[in-house]
Structure 1
Amino acid sequence: MFGRRKKAVDQRELADTETEGADVVDGAAAAPSDQDASTPTAEAAQAAFDRSSGPWDAAEQDVPEDDPTFVDAGAMIVRGRPGLDLQIPTDPQTGAATSVVAIGEGSAVELRAFAAPRHSGLWDDIRPEIIAEVKRVGGTVEEVESSFGTELRVEVPVQAADGRQGVQASRIIGVDGPRWLLRATFMGTLGATADPDSLLEQTVRDTIVVRGDSPMPPREQIPIVVPAGAVRADSETKEA
């Protein structure tokens, strides 16, 4: 288990203190305009999924600094539980952390957090893009209502190490929060079947997203940070 924790920061006054002035779309600043009845508010965009049981925004939860069960990975704080293994994969070329992966009970879930516009969510916009990409590679995808709102049930063709063809199933969920999107991809047993009482689904609900106060273009991934004291998996293997 990684070692560093931090107290979740309060972002309640973030929208009033930012100096960016407007959301950035495709690299250009969108001019602010008066919101009319047809423009969805952040609350309306999140109405499809009730976050009263998590995942959380950093302004909604305080994490005790001396509680070793919470792992601070920069973009998110993940709660450790017995039977849960937390990993942070890194890009082999840049060395940058790419996501947080929780493993347990024969399943895994990959967690990524992205910046979102101030007045709308991202999940409704991103789902059609994921669907198109799955179909492009010859897979199948279905939109299903679950305890996380609208999720995607995906099956894509894969080739095993021995050359045999197979199918890999996964479930992709997206949760819109205050100026962020948390995307979770379930694999293994939970890639085919949902289980709200499972260790990993509860881990997603326990996750606290730390958006930060820096201006970010919508869809940009909030940086993952490898906690101090984390042990490299290859080093651990060599020592064993």
Structure 2
Amino acid sequence: MFGRRKKDHDETAAEAAETETEVTDAPHEDDEQASGPAPYDRSKGPWDASEREIPEDDPTFVDVGALIVQGRVGLDLQIPTDPETGVATSVVALAEESAVELRAFAAPRGGGLWDEIRPEIIAEVERVGGKVEEVDSTFGRELRVVVPVQASDGRQGVQESRIIGVDGPRWLLRATFMGKLGSTSDPESILEQAVRDVVVVRGSTPMPPREQIPVVVPAGAVRAEQPTTEV
């Protein structure tokens, strides 16, 4: 197995038997470390801009700078903006009594940012008195979160959400599902399909890891009554 050179003929058989036993039976620390969850397979999306060619004349694709989202029947897209600066903060897709907030961040070239920030999210949820469970899903490792909230009428309640992270080439896509999909996964739902169809545009501008890739309100967007811009 290791290409060891042969010694004298009368020593070879005994040493070979011992070597096979040691190689087969001895535990290796590297094997134990490699037994963690495998990284999410992006063979079905989300995609990097280098992996998908978007037709410029196809109106079903909405370009918001950091992301290109493919529209579909029953999907409503909104771009929340900061009420003071007017800067776009994320992309929110709504369908079937659910919503998903999409943000893209710069990441190290070697990836692994989602593994790095999951413990930080867990710690923050627990700090505010919430509960969080880390589970395997069709998007890899995801967090299922329950946090206490206070309604406008003063009543106490809880808010459920699912947070997923997908590592790509020098980027991390973070998606937070709320509403009906905040408590259970449905791979056939419009929103989960929409997340898989997302194209992340990292660009070539140098950015430190964890910095959010800017979202841009597209031309022709219609401003809603609330402080969000509806596409």
* Class of the TM-score when normalised by the shorter of the 2 chains: 0.7 to 0.9
How many residue pairs get matched?
193
Q: Which residue of 1 aligns with 2:13?
A: none
Aligned to 2:209: 218
In 2, the alpha carbon distance for the partners of 1:115 and 1:180 equals 5
The one-letter amino acid of 2:136's match is E
In structure 2, the residue matched to 1:90 is 81
Q: Which letter maps to 2:67?
A: M
Q: How far is the alpha carbon of 1:85 from its aligned partner?
A: 0.4
Instruction: Report the residue type matching 1:144 in the other structure.
Output: V
| Gap regions ≥5 residues in structure 1 | 1-37, 39-45, 236-240
Kindly provide the CA deviation profile for residues 172-203 of structure 1, in whole angstroms up to 9, marking residues without a partner as x.
Answer: 00000000000000000000000000000000
| Pick aligned residue for 1:65 from 32, 36, 56 | 56
1:19-168 pair list within 5 angstroms: 48-168=39-159
The 4+ residue runs of structure 1 with deviation greater than 3 A are none
Helix, strand or coil: the match of 1:154? strand
Deviations 1:117-162, CA, capped at 9 Å, x for gaps: 1123200000000000000000000001000000000000000111
- The C-alpha deviation readout for 1:51-79, integer Å capped at 9, x for no partner, is 01000000000010110000000000000
State the distance in 2 between where 1:229 and 1:95 align. 16
Q: Cα offset for 1:93?
A: 1.4
CA contact (8 A) 2:111 2:171 kept: no
Alpha-carbon distance in structure 2 between the residues aligned to 1:201 and 1:58: 19
2-side partners of 1:118 and 1:65: how far apart?
29
- Give the RMSD, CA atoms, in angstroms: 1.7
The structure that is helix-richer by fraction is 2
Query: Which residue pairs with 2:182 in the alignment?
Result: 191
Distance in 2, Cα, partners of 1:154 & 1:195: 17
Amino acid paired to 2:94 = I
Q: Distance in 2 between the 1:84 and 1:141 partners?
A: 28
Give % identity: 78
What secondary structure, in the 3-state scheme, does the structure 1 residue paired with 2:173 have? strand
Secondary structure class of the residue paired with 1:81: coil
Instruction: Tell me if structure 1 keeps the 8 A contact 2:94–2:191.
Output: yes
Q: Which amino acid aligns with 2:62?
A: V
Matches of 1:47 and 1:118 in 2, distance apart? 18
Decide which of 200, 206, 222 is 1:209's aligned counterpart.
200
Q: Report if the CA contact (8 A) 2:147-2:159 is conserved.
A: yes
How many angstroms does 1:47 deviate by? 5.2
Q: Please give the secondary structure, in 1, of the residue aligned with 2:43.
A: coil
- Aligned partner of residue 204 in structure 2, secondary structure: coil
- Give me the whole-angstrom Cα distance separating, in 1, the residues matched to 2:159 and 2:111: 32
SS of equivalent to 2:94 = strand
